[in-house]
Amino acid sequence: MSSPPGRRARLSSPGTGRSSSEAREELRRRLLGLIESNRVMIFSKSYCPHSARVKELFSSLGVECNILELDRVDDGANVQEVLSEITNQKTVPNIFVNKVHMGGCDQTFQAHQSGLLQKLLQEDAAYDYDLIVIGGGSGGLACAQEAAILGKKVMVLDFVVPSPQGMSWGLGGTCVNVGCVPKKLMHQAALLGQALSDARKFGWEYSQQVRHNWETMTEAIQNHIGSLNWGCRLSLREKAVAYVNSYGEFVEHHKIKATNRKGQETYYTAAKFVLATGERPRYLGIQGDKEYCITSDDLFSLPYCPGKTLVVGASYVGLECAGFLAGIGLDVTVMVRSVLLRGFDQEMAEKVGSYMKQHGVKFLRKFVPVMVQQLEKGSPGKLKVVAKSTEGPETIEEVYNTVLLAIGRDSCTRKIGLEKIGVKINEKSGKIPVNDVEQTNVPYVYAVGDILEGKLELTPVAIQAGKLLARRLFAGHLEKCDYVNVPTTVFAPLEYGCCGLSEEKAIEVYKKENLEVYHTLFWPLEWTVAGRDNNTCYAKIICHKFDNYRVIGFHVLGPNAGEITQGFAAAMKCGLTKQLLDDTIGIHPTCGEVFTTLEITKSSGLDITQKGC
């Protein structure tokens, strides 16, 4: 947006398919959003001399304003009508200063002469910042930097409370420090081990005994993460975002207390706040869990090889960690309370588990730990785990070097003073309910990322939501984050990528008789010479028969599933159908091409095993 006399606001159409009352209410909400989010908001017409006078006034005062020219938007007449309902003023210019309705041209000049206009303009300066973001993870940083690019004064508060094992980290949040980044790199370490095994079949000869060095790997990964932490800080500095390594807590409306590691307290105020505090791993609440168990908060910087490991939980975090630990040669067991990959397609989840079992990961199904006891100290030490069946009185015991908990994550929302300003949270989950523009029940407080109720817990989602939120708040944009058809990948030893609905969810939403599922097993060419498992990789799409066979679910189990899924996700955003897939010429030889030749439906019952190229 440009300097005075003003920025040109945009107001997109509320879209077709709505009733007139719904469209009108949506327009009203958007206009109120513009009024709420701009210091000076002028509803004008480009040819109006009175509007021109007002623009010149604000320009002479050096005040930036946001301008919506009603003669240059498609719905200008309706906008003016709804404005009339809001303000009881039928003419332009229609002016708001810090959410206060000034009126038209004459009223604004009268306010200027009386000093009222200057007082209203100064009210914004009563706050230290235009925006304070609490949480320096993916979503918070994206929102803060975008707001700063738009000329706002922004602060980021970020503080990592050490894990029970004493681990903490730098700026960047879970993804950079203890999530996506180190996880993918350790997954790569395991894939390289498999590649070494395959290499002999491709003619590579080596006699040296190959073994994996945990310390070398973690040091290299932590060095890379350190460079990312520095990059995050540098990016904030370049955009003039204030970064404070302190714990933020609301003390009253528009005011927070920031406490640093030394316990020193500082207070800051802001016109708006964005909560982006993320989540931390959950503990079992049993004897010995916090004393002796580790979580993903600890694993990636563990200074010693974990040895024989029990992974408790079969979430994607649990299976990914179990997969790469087994891939580097460790003895790994996964203890599963109920199902694998809850919330994902269960046919795909069981195939992921089956592959892991075939490649050395042991599974204890229908058991939960009830006690963890330290037998020996050390790096690693020895821990005895007592577990109980979920289906009867049976108990089992086993000794491990490391116990890794991956049983879920809890939102960091209960100790930041939200109750003092009235922000509602889900008391059971700690999640924050928001509307479709990420706004909480307190108008000046917004939230993004994993703490949102009913939204996806994925880094790219948080980044997109954060950027778009800043643009709506400070640039008059209206685009909202689209939480539908978001692709994701589980980086298990055999990767599982998906986009859209699981088969179970599709049946629940659309009914089985309205769906057609196309599927096949496939054998990657790279696996053939290496003598790796035939008929293990699997692809399926779920189509809505009565919506032009639109693809509503995409699932692939195979090498590089994330890379494959990313491309098809874009196609699904564009309304991908089975016919469009059939019309697409595949790239040969690739795994992704299998989706261009799908012929067999589940309902046919035909054999899907592959016998040739």
SS (H, E, C) 571-612: HHHCCCEHHHHHHCCCCCCCCHHHHHCCCCEHHHCCCCCCCC
* Catalytic-residue membership of 588: yes
- The CA distance from 320 to 327, in Å, is 10
Reported as a pLDDT band with limits 50, 70 and 90, residue 3 is very low
Average pLDDT on 94-118 reads 86
Average pLDDT on 533-552 reads 97
Whether omega before 5 lies within 30 degrees of 0, making that bond cis, reads yes
Residue 8 has pLDDT above 80, yes or no: no
Residue 197 has pLDDT above 90, yes or no: yes
Reported as a pLDDT band with limits 50, 70 and 90, residue 2 is very low
513-540: pLDDT as tens digits = 999 999 999 999 999 999 999 999 999 9
Q: Choose, from 187, 477, 555, 588, the residue flagged as catalytic.
A: 588
Reported as a pLDDT band with limits 50, 70 and 90, residue 89 is confident
Residue 586 has pLDDT above 90, yes or no: yes
3-state SS assignment for residue 130? strand
End-to-end CA distance of the chain: 56
Residue 1 has pLDDT above 50, yes or no: no
- The CA distance from 333 to 383, in Å, is 14
> For residue 86, what pLDDT is reported?
82
Average pLDDT on 221-236 reads 98
Is the CB of residue 10 less than 8 Å from the CB of residue 476? yes
| Token pair 């694993």: residue | 299
Is the CB of residue 397 less than 8 Å from the CB of residue 386? yes
Residue type, 581: L
Average pLDDT on 111-117 reads 81
Beta pairing class for 488-490 and 496-500:
antiparallel
Range 283-408 classified under CATH 3.50.50.60:
yes
Range 494-604 classified under CATH 3.30.390.30:
yes
Average pLDDT on 272-295 reads 97
Residue 146 has pLDDT above 80, yes or no: yes
Is the CB of residue 64 less than 8 Å from the CB of residue 121? no
Residue type, 247: Y
Q: Percent of the chain, pLDDT > 70? A: 96
Strand partners, 68: 43
Reported as a pLDDT band with limits 50, 70 and 90, residue 102 is confident
Residue 114 has pLDDT above 80, yes or no: no
Other beta carbons within 10 angstroms of residue 585's beta carbon come to: 7
Other beta carbons within 10 angstroms of residue 366's beta carbon come to: 15
Residue 15 has pLDDT above 60, yes or no: no
> For residue 11, what pLDDT is reported?
66
18-27: pLDDT as tens digits = 578 888 888 8
390-401: pLDDT as tens digits = 999 999 999 999
Is the CB of residue 440 less than 8 Å from the CB of residue 423? yes
What is the per-residue burial (b if ≥16 Cβ within 10 Å, else e) of 57-78?
bbeebebbbbbbbbeebebbeb
> For residue 610, what pLDDT is reported?
81
> For residue 180, what pLDDT is reported?
98
138-149 helix and 459-475 helix, angle to the nearest 10 degrees: 30
Same fold, 7-121 and 283-408: no
CATH of region 7-121, choose from 3.40.50.1820, 3.30.9.100, 3.30.1490.190, 3.40.30.10: 3.40.30.10
Give the max Cα distance, the chain: 90
Residue 14 has pLDDT above 90, yes or no: no
User: How far is CA 537 from each of CA 87, 324, 564, 607, rounded to the nearest angstrom?
Assistant: 62, 19, 13, 15
> For residue 269, what pLDDT is reported?
95
Reported as a pLDDT band with limits 50, 70 and 90, residue 124 is low
Q: Between 39 and 247, name the one with better pLDDT.
A: 247
Q: Between 492 and 7, name the one with better pLDDT.
A: 492
Average pLDDT of the chain is 94
Of 80, 123, 122, the closest CA to residue 104 belongs to 80
Q: C-alpha angle 608/610/612, rounded to 5°?
A: 150
pTM: 0.83
Reported as a pLDDT band with limits 50, 70 and 90, residue 62 is confident
Residue 509 has pLDDT above 70, yes or no: yes
312-354: pLDDT as tens digits = 999 999 999 999 999 999 999 999 999 999 999 999 999 999 9
Reported as a pLDDT band with limits 50, 70 and 90, residue 110 is confident
Average pLDDT on 55-83 reads 90
> For residue 4, what pLDDT is reported?
46
Q: Percent of the chain, pLDDT > 90? A: 83
> For residue 64, what pLDDT is reported?
87
Superfamily designation of domain 129-278+412-475: FAD/NAD(P)-binding domain (3.50.50.60)
Domain ranges of the chain: 7-121, 129-278+412-475, 283-408, 494-604
Is the Cα dihedral 343, 347, 353, 356 positive or negative?
negative
- Tokens (6 digits) for 51: 């509007």
